[in-house]
Amino acid sequence: MSVLNTLLQLPDIKRLIKRLPALWPKDWTLPFISLALAVALWYFVGGDDTVDKNVMVPVEVINLPRNLVISNQFKREIMVTISGPRKQVLGIEPGDITKQVDLAQAFVGTKVINNDNQSISVPRGVKVQRIQPDSIIFSLDKLIQKQLAVKPVTKGQPAPHFVVQKITMKPDSISVTGPQAALAELDSLQTQVIDVSGMGQSTQLQVPLELNTELLNLIGETSVTADLSIVEEAVEKRVSGLSIDLGSYSGKRQLSPTTVTVTALVPRSLARERKDLSSLFQATVVDDNEAGQMTVKVVPRHGLSGPIQIVKVEPLVVTFTVSSEEATDPPSPSSLQEDATEKK
């Protein structure tokens, strides 16, 4: 309107306006209506400026077969330059325009999708001027599922005279679904480094997995539980003259030899505290129904302050002779019944 007011103030325009009554035709109704329509058309169509605008358009993949997966990092958004009336173009919001890629007929390999202007659907009156990039590349691979073991990675040394006896992972394996190329040669997942420096007791930790970008995209940030069994360092001790407890066979059988020698791994502090190491063990015999022989079984006694591991028992088998007491034991009812059956 300011431009129109300026024009009306020009001398030539003022003189033209004064002469209009003389120039105006007698039948002025129809020309006036035509002029009004022309002005309205110019205002609503020609008068609205044409502008260009760059719009980031999301790429939407549809109909991807279930047995396939996109294995590369493709362009998730493309830049589309659109042109049209100012009000219409500026009114377009993010998400109003999308680029759909139909992969229904896709197969394993590389697929190139061309970004031509006709592939973008825009409102009527708006035109697509250009698209960047001009194509999208998809790498398609077979989708597989694989069970991968979780393996801990440690550094450092526990407190003096302590060792890491065992590390238990929970879960001990993770199921991963992804491209065959990425998982084919992978058989395990590693944790981030667990620092055991100075540890003197068992503990439980939450540990993130060490994942590359590809695995991170497949399973996301993942943590597991690590149960660290930290025990006192053991020393190997050899104990001789350990008496064998006959138990229920006492007084009925005579062993040869009557003592054994045991080699065991004993916690350092326990070995230092006990002067008589034979008190740490209990030796018994098991009848294996071998004529004249019994197997020796040595176990740590209950209530000890640390774990003991039996390494070797010498001899492992002892011989025995039946005493007169066992030989003269009255026969059992079952044996009498068997004798009666045989006689019949």
Q: Where in the chain is the domain with CATH 2.170.120.40?
A: 144-232
Is the CATH code 3.40.50.720 the one for domain 50-142?
no
> What are 143-166's pLDDT values in tens digits?
999 999 999 999 999 999 899 989
Q: What is the pLDDT along the chain (344 residues), one digit of tens a residue?
A: 455 556 556 666 666 666 666 655 555 566 666 666 666 665 555 445 789 888 899 999 999 999 999 888 888 899 999 899 988 888 888 778 888 899 999 999 999 988 888 888 888 889 999 999 989 999 999 999 999 999 999 999 999 989 998 999 999 999 999 999 889 889 999 999 999 999 999 999 999 999 998 899 889 999 999 999 998 898 999 999 999 999 888 888 899 999 999 999 998 888 888 888 999 999 999 988 888 899 999 999 887 767 889 999 999 999 999 876 555 555 544 444 444 444 44
DSSP per residue, 183-206:
HTT--EEEEEEEE-TT--S-EEEE
State what percent of residues in the chain have pLDDT above 90: 49
Residue given tokens 């062993």 in the structure block: 255
The highest-level CATH class for domain 234-326 is mainly beta
- Determine if the pTM surpasses 0.85: no
> What are 276-300's pLDDT values in tens digits?
899 999 999 998 888 889 999 999 9
Q: Where in the chain is the domain with CATH 2.170.120.30?
A: 50-142, 234-326
Q: What are phi and psi of 169, to 5 degrees?
A: -100, 135
Distance of alpha carbon 64 from alpha carbon 310, whole angstroms? 60
Report which secondary-structure segment, H or E, holds 331: none
Q: Which CATH number fits domain 144-232: 2.120.10.30, 2.170.120.40, 3.10.129.10, 3.40.50.970?
A: 2.170.120.40
Nearest to 228 by CA among 171, 165, 170, 306: 165
* Mean pLDDT, all residues of the chain: 84
- Residue 98 to residues 57, 81, 94, 136, Cα–Cα distance (Å): 5, 13, 9, 14
